[in-house]
Structure 1
Amino acid sequence: MVRDPPRARGDVARFGASCMTDPIGAAVAVGAIIARDGRLLLGLRSPYRRRCPGRWDLPGGHVEDGETVVEAARRELMEEIGIIAERIGLLVTLNLLDVGGRPMLLSIMRVAEWRGSPTLRDHEHVALGWFTPDAAAELPDLAVDAYRPVFGRLRLNSF
């Protein structure tokens, strides 16, 4: 049986983090893996961003109060790169520390089907680039070091 993803607040204790902060105060965020022709899409963060300026990152962002991680990923993809995620699911959740040293749960989403053409739509990124998983894992200026083993294990032909 397939269940709907949990909603923020009341369901967090039963289903895990799905809101901006979970019960222990961890920030909750999403990053989305968009694949095309054996490559994944990364955005070069603006040098003016507080978090990871000038580094390559997955499109994504914080989960807003009341959202599931799927809803947050869909919203962030539309806001940041103008695509509509049609089939999306959770790949892995990483337990990290954010810029201020606060715990952060980062859910990496797998976007199996999407519509539109990725374009820069906001101030968060200054460039978009397509990388093989191995090339992405080797980037010296990757926003999150914990992406490296995730990218290293990706098999994009199964998307």
Structure 2
Amino acid sequence: MDEEIIGPGVRLPDMAPDEVWVVGAVVLDADGRAFVQFRGPGRRLFPSTWDVVGGHVEDGETVVRALRREIAEETGWALRRVVHDLGTSAWDAGDGIVRHSADFVVEVDGDLSRPVLEWDKHPRFAWVGVDDLPLLMENRAPDDTAVHDVVARALRRRPG
């Protein structure tokens, strides 16, 4: 079932059972802008910063199932297709836990003008293009460019 929605050339990571994995989904609109949401000030990790849709891969989940769940939970949209992989990375948020991230450009079904956010976790959202990328550095340290860089890669992968 997962294989049916994976675009040609998309590489999914091999996840070792002892690793902590996070998925990120970049949704592009018809104008080629990327959807981002602002993390609320009460969030444990990266409060008051911009982020893409995503979260932890739960025990027993595949990457695609985690993408499907996170997209539905955070936006109300439904994953239609995984279009491009944007690479993987490993990072520590300062809590001693090494997380492995896998980011993707995805297509979704649903009204892109009306995401159903988890308002307590993400009080606002934006659609950003190349000229808007500096917004993603709001409240981030100058060397914390991960979200900025993922969105920039997604915008370069835009069809057309």
Aligned match for 1:26, one of 7, 19, 23: 19
Counterpart CA distance in 2 for 1:138 and 1:46 is 16
Matches within 5 A, 1:7-156: 16-17=14-15, 22-23=16-17, 25-36=18-29, 37-89=31-83, 90-116=85-111, 117-136=114-133, 139-141=136-138, 145-153=145-153, 154-155=155-156
User: What amino acid maps onto 1:108 in structure 2?
Assistant: D
The Cα of 1:142 is off from its aligned counterpart by 6.6
The number of aligned residues is: 143
Q: Normalized against structure 2, the TM-score is what?
A: 0.76
Distance (Å, rounded) in 2 between the aligned partners of 1:85 and 1:133: 24
Relative to structure 1, is the Cα distance of residues 47 and 120 closer, same or farther in structure 2, using a 3 angstrom cutoff? same
Deviation at 1:156, TM superposition (A): 5.1
Distance 1:72 1:142 in 2: 27
Who is 1:12 aligned against? none
CA contact (8 A) 2:40 2:123 kept: yes
When residues 97 and 124 of structure 1 are mapped into structure 2, their CA distance, relative to the original with a 3 A threshold, is same
* Percent pairwise identity: 34
More contact order relative to length (CA 8 Å, sep ≥ 6): 2
Spell out, residue by residue over 1:112-145, the C-alpha distance to the aligned partner (whole angstroms, 9 max, x if none).
3433342213532110111114423553227652
Q: Distance in 1 between matches of 2:23 and 2:54?
A: 5
Q: If the length of structure 1 is used for normalisation, what is the TM-score?
A: 0.76
The answer to whether the Cα contact below 8 Å between 1:80 and 1:122 also exists between their aligned partners in 2 is no
- Structure 1 stretches lacking a partner, 5+ long: 6-14
1:137–1:30 Cα change, 3 Å: farther
Stretches (4+) displaced over 6 A:
none
The one-letter amino acid of 1:67's match is E
SS in 2 for 1:139: helix
| Residue 66 of structure 1, CA deviation | 0.8
CA distance in 2, matches of 1:156, 1:123: 31
CA distance in 1, matches of 2:149, 2:49: 17
